Structure 1
């Protein structure tokens, strides 16, 4: 096995891992958890902040 074969196998492994992560992220099972996590930055708004429109 030469270095070119090892590099090719490494590239194939990274491609398979990337496709696996993409499939996992876009699977419908976890959509609710991702939506909840996406809204976390807005959950900690300081209501005592005078610059806040709700103050």
Structure 2
């Protein structure tokens, strides 16, 4: 799994607002809906999920 330069910006977006990081990586998919729900339940679960999505794809 190679990290690109744009992944750094996605990580910053994921820390500021987790759904933005997921949207930048995957677009408007079910992963975005799950991340919005996790962010509503708590900021940290949303960040963890966003990091997972960014690192996985």
- Same fold per superposition (TM over 0.5): no
Greater RCO (Cα-Cα under 8 Å, separation 6 or more): 2
Structure with the higher fraction of residues in helix conformation: 2
TM-score w.r.t. structure 2 length? 0.28
Q: Answer with 1 or 2: which has the greater Rg.
A: 1
TM-score w.r.t. structure 1 length? 0.29
